[in-house]
Amino acid sequence: MTLKLIYKILVENWPMFLRGAGMTLYISIISTILGSIIGLIVGVIRTIPMPERGFKKVVLKIVNGILSAYIEFFRGTPMMVQAMVIYYGSAEAFGISIDKYLAAIFIVSINTGAYMSEIVRGGIVSIDKGQFEAAHALGMNHVKTMTNVVMPQVIRNILPATGNEFVINIKDTSVLNVISVSELYFVTKSIAGNSFIFYPPFFIACILYFVMTFTVTRILRLFERKIDGPENFDLTGNQMQVARPEDIIRKKRAEGIGHPY
Amino acid sequence: MEKLIEIKHLSKTFGTNEVLKDIGFTVNKGEVVCIIGSSGSGKSTLLRCVNLLEKPSGGQIIYKGENILDDKHDIYAYRTKLGMVFQQFNLFNNFNVLGNCTVGQIKVLKRSREEAEEVAMKYLKVVGMDQYINAKPRQLSGGQKQRVAIARALSMEPDVMLFDEPTSALDPEMVGEVLKVMRELAESGLTMLIVTHEMGFAKDVADRVVFMDQGVIVEEGSPEQVLNNPVQERTREFLSRTLNQ
């Protein structure tokens, strides 16, 4: 009975579900990427070593203060409330009407940015001081040290946390229904409202959410493995004068000759 | 003899802790200078002050006639002239062996990739690690890492090599392979400043031995003189402690 109902809902509304899921993915992918970029920039700025004196120190202190306020504010308030404040606030208080999709991406991005900048800062702090020193000893300045040595390691190390953020974004875009962004939750709610059938549409939405998050985590895991490179390495140079029998066999097989003996 | 690095009245304090007091010594071109002394005597700090990984609190470091502690001086260009080898190797974890030896050449010295790889291979052969160019640091043993670290520093073709206790973090059986490489480098006429606990090595390789204790240079001279016939009481105490172990 219920299975039939789920099937019926699915058959009748699959384009809407798909469009909703597509919107959810679209907002969360773009926001995760933008948020990660914000996080990287903010995290790097917050770990610049404080100069001992002078104008630069004052500027850096002010910038750090603003960035801390940004992080604390967006981490400390619910995204749903921020969405209301930013979307309706911009229209009612300042008379600027922004596109709700733009507002959605903006809100999720700066939220992700606030979390990511702390993740990035943690990543930078956890890099061994020796890596910085070795880079400095080769004559690299702060920017070269960061771009060539530190950040590649940081990005590798924060990938799992970034995956977390991505998954959270896929799920949390559902709160954007308060500003009527037609993402998966909003679409499901409309379907349920139109048909007066509640649990089957949400069950389908549930599965769709899971499929999206699971796919994303798997893809990121593959990406991590790719960055790590192979577990083993090959010695170079011809210290091996004679090819081993198994190499000969493999070579012949690859050439399609079959077993050589 | 050409003076390469001249250190005058160098001091370093961490808070109220005076680690180096009025240090003065000279490294001439082609010379191998070993700095010995007990832990906490300031040897490593001195070496780290020479390439400004620690900012000296006072004094002068004169390199080829110029005081590099002047505000105007380009410390990044200066550091490329000094090759540094660390106790903890500090190979870049995000590069393989070849990448470790080329990144500095490409990004700092602006060499082309082909040239950098050629130079890197030359020095990796010197340290006997040329077969391992595809390995990541985590796949190497301590001794191998340290030999790559030496090749990385040599690839910048520095005027002086600084060694900060290069064998202290190694298993006893790996110390030999690193010391062998360093011995060959010393014989090739490279200028080297070495902080070490290997007395035998210092005796064989050094042109001059500097003994430090509690932030000051107590005694300085040929290895024969400092290690066999020390004048100062403190040097004698230190040597009897280390040699009688």
Are the Cβ atoms of B108 and A138 closer than 8 angstroms? yes
The whole-number average pLDDT for the span A204-233 is: 90
Distance from the Cα of A154 to chain B's closest Cα (Å) equals 10
* ipTM of the modeled complex: 0.92
| pTM metric for this prediction | 0.83
Whether B231 has its CB under 8 Å from any CB of chain A: the answer is: no
End-to-end CA distance of chain A: 65
CB B127 within 8 Å of CB B121: no
- Chain A residues within an 8 Å CB radius of B80: 138-139
- Chain A residues within an 8 Å CB radius of B76: 139-141
Are the Cβ atoms of B86 and A148 closer than 8 angstroms? no
Are the Cβ atoms of A137 and B84 closer than 8 angstroms? yes
Phi, psi of B59, deg, nearest 5: 100, -170
pLDDT value, residue A260? 45
Are the Cβ atoms of B84 and A234 closer than 8 angstroms? no
Q: How far is CA B200 from the centre of its chain?
A: 17
CA-CA distances (angstroms) from residue A52 to A49, A55, A57? 9, 10, 7
pLDDT value, residue A98? 87
Whether B130 has its CB under 8 Å from any CB of chain A: the answer is: yes
Torsion A41-B95-A144-B53 (CA) sign: positive
Whether A107 has its CB under 8 Å from any CB of chain B: the answer is: no
The whole-number average pLDDT for the span B156-169 is: 93
Longest dimension (CA), chain B: 55
Whether B132 has its CB under 8 Å from any CB of chain A: the answer is: yes
Are the Cβ atoms of B103 and A236 closer than 8 angstroms? no
- The residue ranges of every structural domain in chain A are 22-188, 232-261
Whole-number Å distance between alpha carbons of B212 and A238: 47
pLDDT value, residue A249? 63
Longest dimension (CA), chain A: 85
Please give the CATH superfamily to which domain A22-188 belongs: MetI-like (1.10.3720.10)
Of A130, A133, A148, the CB nearest to B107: A148
DSSP class of residue A64 equals H
Of A144, A153, A229, the CB nearest to B108: A144
Are the Cβ atoms of A237 and B53 closer than 8 angstroms? no
pLDDT tens-digit map of B16-59 = 899 999 999 899 999 999 999 988 889 999 999 999 999 999 99
Are the Cβ atoms of A139 and B77 closer than 8 angstroms? yes
Whether B51 has its CB under 8 Å from any CB of chain A: the answer is: yes
CB B207 within 8 Å of CB B31: yes
Whole-number Å distance between alpha carbons of B197 and B200: 9
Are the Cβ atoms of B131 and A134 closer than 8 angstroms? no
Phi, psi of A187, deg, nearest 5: -60, -45
Asked if residue A54 has pLDDT above 90, the reply is: no
Strand partners, B12: B20
pLDDT tens-digit map of B129-151 = 999 999 999 999 999 999 999 99
The beta strand positions in chain B, using DSSP E, are 3-14, 17-28, 32-36, 58-63, 66-67, 82-85, 160-164, 191-195, 208-213, 216-221
pLDDT value, residue B243? 73
pLDDT value, residue A50? 82
List, as one string, the DSSP characters of B42-85.
SHHHHHHHHTTSS--SEEEEEETTEETTSTTS-HHHHHHTEEEE
A22, amino acid identity: G
Asked if residue A31 has pLDDT above 70, the reply is: yes
Whole-number Å distance between alpha carbons of A120 and A46: 10
- Mean pLDDT, chain B, whole residue set: 92
Whether B26 has its CB under 8 Å from any CB of chain A: the answer is: no
Distance from the Cα of A243 to chain B's closest Cα (Å) equals 17
Are the Cβ atoms of A133 and B51 closer than 8 angstroms? no
